[in-house]
Each structure stands twice: as C-alpha cells, then as structure tokens.
Amino acid sequence: MSHHPKLAILGFGTMGQAICAGLVEASGYPAGLIHAVDIHPSAMKARAEALGIRLSKEVETAVKEAEVVLLCVKPKELKGLLSELTAAGALDHKPLVVSIAAGTNLAFLDEHTPEGTPLIRAMPNTPCSIRKGMVVLSPGKGVTEAQLAIARALFEPLGRVMDLDEKHMDAVTGLSASGPAFMFVILESLAEGGVQCGLPRAVATELAAQMTLGAASMVLETGKHPAALKDEVTTPAGCTIAGLMVLEDGRIRSVVARGIERATQVAAGLG
Ligand SMILES: NC(=O)c1ccc[n+]([C@@H]2O[C@H](COP(=O)([O-])OP(=O)(O)OC[C@H]3O[C@@H](n4cnc5c(N)ncnc54)[C@H](OP(=O)(O)O)[C@@H]3O)[C@@H](O)[C@H]2O)c1
C-alpha cells in the first residue's frame, strides 16, 4: 500500500470533516485519494469542494475502491451500515477498517464485518482539523504491526497518536474526545473573568486561549507534574494563591474530574 492509501470516509459530519480538513489542508494528503460518503451530501457540498475531495452517497463504490475505510458515522448508524456493506461484499479482503465510533467495541465491529477484516478502533478529537489533535488507537485481534503503522501514518499528521488497550477507550472518549468542549467552557469562563475585570472581550479571549495553550505546552514539553508547575507560579500571599483558594472553594477539581467520569459512563453506553 502506498504512503497515502485510497481512503473512504463514511460519514462527513463533524469528525469526518475535521479529519479530512486535517489531512488535506494541514498535511497535504492528496485530496483525489479521498472519497467521503454521507447520506445528505448536498448539505456538505461546499466543504467537500473547498477541500477538493469527492463526496457522494455511493457508499459501496467508495468502500470497494478504498484501501482504508474510516467509519465516521454515529454509533447507532454503524450496525446498519456495516450489515449493508458486508451483504454487498464491499468489505471483502479490505486491507484496513478503522472506526472512530464512541462506545462501539472491537467485538461488535468484528461481529458485523467479514471474518478476518483487520479492524482498528481510533478515538480522535476535533483539534485534528488543525493538526493539534489527540488520537488513541486500539488494534483488533490479528492486526499486524504493518496495519497499525498504516493507521498511525494516517493520524500522525493530525496531532499526537498513542496506542492503548481497548479497555481504556471509554475513558479516552470522556477525556480526550469530549474534552475540547469542556476546555471551551473553561476558556470562556476565564475570558469572562477578564471581562468582569475590565478587559475587552476579544482581548480576554485571546489571553485566555494563548495562556491555556502555553500551560498545556509546558506540561507536555517539560514533563513536569501540573502540580509542580502550579507551585512554581504560586508565591506566598500572592495573587495566584488567592485565586486558587476561590477555585478550590468551588470544588473545581472534583467538578472537572466528575465531568470526565460522567462523559466516560455515557460513552460506554453509546455503542
Ligand atoms: N464529535 C466529536 O468530537 C467526536 C470525537 C471522537 C469520535 N467521535 C465519533 O465520531 C463519529 C461521528 O461523530 P460526529 O460528531 O462527526 O457525528 P455527525 O456530525 O452526526 O456526523 C455523522 C455523519 O454521518 C452521516 N451518516 C449517517 N448515517 C450514514 C450512513 N449510513 N452513511 C453515510 N453517512 C451517514 C450523518 O448524516 P445525518 O446527520 O443526516 O444523520 C452525519 O452527516 C461518532 O461515532 C462519534 O462517536 C466524535
């Protein structure tokens, strides 16, 4: 298989478009090798045209022509879609099928695809659209290192890629796939604080976003524990410890952690 396999993206919604945008706009994946399929393609025509990819309703054609099939429909749509494709023989001898559906385990995918189909579960997030994504991969039974390498090569241009055992996938979904929404709310709250203290909203939003980016990059680049980095900026009787005390009064840690726990529980029930 070439460095850029022929790709069928089934479901061109939020994630299908985010992955496609990351591949074509941000990492130079040849648009001509991507065929996206959606049941309502007219609604996304402009986006597909801007990306230069093919978009149609022709699911069997797209899958038959593809080397790698990326399943980007909602979990509840997956069973019907896979049954249709299996019945039509479209998935026979497919080199690789990757599903990003939340809460849908490899056993389910295995049950609804032809015997021996190489399956990988992937959990991306929307920052993949700007190459700042996080993607976790869990290979199915019998997936070779070469097949896993194809999936890694597909997602690596979109951000960080990590392999994890499938038992962690619901927690990955609650933290890293739902996470951007949580961070947007936290970012908005940070900006509101700035506005409350007199900053123009656009300035407050930019400061909040760049500060969040910087703090996250410090964790990733220094490898230090977040608590150690927090201690470094917390001087005795200073403004930072004063602000932290208020956040702790509001139980920020347990509220955020329980949000991830709840998202994980719901993710587990989506399949
Ligand atoms: N959103 C996220 O941040 C995120 C992150 C990680 C993983 N995921 C997973 O990614 C998958 C897609 O999520 P999403 O948020 O992108 O959903 P979405 O925006 O609803 O996109 C799914 C698209 O697939 C279309 N579709 C439905 N049935 C189809 C079929 N049989 N053939 C072709 N297209 C079909 C839908 O059309 P209609 O709208 O007309 O039904 C919709 O346009 C889900 O399984 C989700 O668990 C999402």
> What percent of the chain lies above the pLDDT cut of 90?
95
Residue type, 136: V
Q: What is the pLDDT of residues 73-120, one digit of tens each?
A: 999 999 999 999 999 999 999 999 999 999 999 999 999 999 999 999
Fold of 179-268: ProC C-terminal domain-like fold (1.10.3730)
d(CA 233, CA 240): 7
d(CA 253, CA 240): 16
User: Closest by alpha carbon to 191, among 211, 207, 215?
Assistant: 207
Counting ligand 1 atoms within 8 A of each CB, the residue from 72, 78, 79, 170 with the most, and so the one to mutate, is 72
Each domain of the chain, given as residue ranges in start order, spans: 7-165, 179-268
Cα dihedral 189, 263, 113, 142, rounded to 10, equals 100
Tell me the sheet residues that pair with 69: 8, 97
Q: What is the pLDDT of residues 214-253, one digit of tens each?
A: 999 999 999 999 999 999 999 999 999 999 999 999 999 9
Q: Is the separation of the CB atoms in 9 and 35 below 8 Å? A: yes
Could you tell me the distance, in angstroms and rounded to a whole number, from the CA of residue 164 to the centre of ligand 1?
23
- 59: which DSSP letter? H
CA distance to 5, 30, 228, per residue, from 214 (Å): 35, 32, 15
Exposed, middle or buried: residue 198 (CB in 10 Å: 0-12, 13-18, 19+)?
Answer: exposed
User: Closest by alpha carbon to 5, among 145, 155, 137, 154?
Assistant: 154
pLDDT of residue 1: 67
**Is a pLDDT exceeding 70 seen at residue 256?**
yes
CA distance to 3, 66, 137, 212, per residue, from 164 (Å): 24, 26, 6, 26
Tell me the sheet residues that pair with 119: 97
Could you tell me the distance, in angstroms and rounded to a whole number, from the CA of residue 6 to the centre of ligand 1?
20
Counting ligand 1 atoms within 8 A of each CB, the residue from 47, 54, 59, 73 with the most, and so the one to mutate, is 73
Pocket of ligand 1 (CB under 6 A): 10-16, 37-40, 59, 72-75, 77, 81, 100-102, 123-126, 177
What pTM, to 2 d.p., does this model score?
0.94
The second-level CATH assignment, the architecture, of 7-165 is 3-Layer(aba) Sandwich (3.40)
pLDDT of residue 197: 98
Could you tell me the distance, in angstroms and rounded to a whole number, from the CA of residue 114 to the centre of ligand 1?
23
Q: Where are the alpha helices (DSSP H) in 144-251?
A: 145-155, 169-172, 179-196, 201-222, 226-232, 239-249
Q: What number is the average pLDDT over the span 49-60?
A: 96
Q: What number is the average pLDDT over the span 139-144?
A: 95
Could you tell me the distance, in angstroms and rounded to a whole number, from the CA of residue 182 to the centre of ligand 1?
20
Q: Is the separation of the CB atoms in 122 and 137 below 8 Å? A: yes
For atom 15 of ligand 1, the residue with the nearest CA is 14
Could you tell me the distance, in angstroms and rounded to a whole number, from the CA of residue 199 to the centre of ligand 1?
38
Could you tell me the distance, in angstroms and rounded to a whole number, from the CA of residue 218 to the centre of ligand 1?
33
- 115: which DSSP letter? T
- 237: which DSSP letter? T
